Structures are given as C-alpha cells and as structure tokens.
Amino acid sequence: MRFEVKGNPSYGEVDVDLGPNETLLIEPGAMSRMSSNLNSSFQRQGGFFSAMFRKMFGGESFFLGKYEHPDGGKLTFAPSIPGHVEHRQLANNSLNIMAGCFLACTPGVNIKAKFGGFKALFSGEGAFLLEASGNGDLFFNSFGGVVEKQINGEFIVDTGHVVAFDPSLDYSITGMGNFKSTMLSGEGLVMRFRGNGKLYLQTRNVSSIASWLTPRLLG
C-alpha cells in the first residue's frame, strides 16, 4: 500500500493506492472518492462485544468500511471535521487515542475501547480511550493542527487538546493549582503526563468552539 497525506494542517486527507488484495479499514463516512473497481463492504473489528463496547464507550462505529480488490485500486478518505491527519506505523506496539480521533487502519491493527480509569470520568473528554495495537498502518485525526511532543519527565496539557499518546506515559487529571485558581483561570482541568514517550496534541479544542458557537446560534 502506498499513500500520501495531503491538505495538512487544516484540511487533511489521505490518497491511497492499494495493491492487489490489499485491504484498508476506514471509519464509515470517511471515504471521499475511489476508483470504480474497488469492492466496498463493512466489517466488524474484533468480536461482537468488543465492537459494541467500542461503539458505546469509545465513540466509534460498530462497523468499519472495508475496501479491497484482487487488482487493487485507489481511494481517498478524510475526517468529518477540519484538521490534521496523522499516520503512525505500528510494529507490535500500541498507541492510546482519544475517542473520536480514529480514522483508518490496515487489518493488522486492532482497535478497542479502553477504560481510562476513574480519573478520566472528570476530564470532560469521556472515561474511555481507544487502544490501537498490533502491526500495520494507523491513521488518526485532530481538530486543527497536530503538535508532536517528546516527553521526558512531566508535561501539562488542557484535556481538550490531547489527541493520542504512547502507553509509556502515565497521566493524572487535576485542576490548575488550587480550587480557586481552577475556577477563575478559565482553564478547567488538565492532564499531567509523566514518563518518557510521544504525545500528540491538537491546536484547537472542539468543546471550546462549541461553547463559543452555542450562544451565537441560539441568539
């Protein structure tokens, strides 16, 4: 499989050239265009309960779109929101992805919902993450551009700006200082990462944009 990511950081999309009998699994609705010979169907990722768990708690679809053909073909896919598309090659390792950021993968990658612990219940971003593991190509997306940070020690991020992170990074969810400063700073809760690993951040926050738009739409 050959691919090219275009349009980053604002309007990312991926052009893919599938070889004979190669398969790509894509979030439903993400396919933008494709050659007429490609076969498209739907495939459940993992077992029934794994797929249901991912849909209910991970913010993802029960089925993924499956694209393949004995002779290969071309297709383009893109996320539903404007932003950056990131590629990560997995080789017997894993990556934690925030719910709603998964876009596509090759069949060797397994996607499952993962409980982020009771600390995640108060993050405002949901209590569950997605764990991508295995071997193959993984594509995920952000709202706005993606900033990669190599963490060695401690690093603080607003909860709404985290896209994905290595499992070698531990985190806790806290306020910005004491209760008063948390309430008055306007920053809300933050994720304090500790350890050594890569962290993917997004330059925009969906919740902040929604909060800004809501009173203007209702007005």
DSSP 27-76: -TT-EEEE-TT-EEEEEE-S-HHHHHHHHHHHS--SEEEEEE-TT-EEEE
Count of the separate structural domains present in the chain: 1
Residue 8, domain CATH = 3.60.160.10
Range of the domain at 96: 2-218
Contact yes or no for 123/158 (Cβ under 8 A): no
The pair of structure tokens assigned to 191 is 């994720």
Contact yes or no for 145/10 (Cβ under 8 A): yes
Q: Is the pLDDT of residue 125 over 90?
A: no
Of the candidate ranges 26-30, 35-39, 42-46, 120-124, the one whose mean pLDDT is the lowest: 120-124
pLDDT at residue 114 in the model: 80
Confidence of residue 182 (pLDDT cuts 50, 70, 90): very low
- Percent of the chain scoring above 70 in pLDDT: 75
Amino acid identity at 18: L
Strand 146-158 to strand 189-202: parallel, antiparallel, or no bridges (unpaired)?
Answer: antiparallel
Tracing tokens 């809501």 back to the chain, one arrives at 214
Q: What is the pTM of this model?
A: 0.84
pLDDT at residue 58 in the model: 44
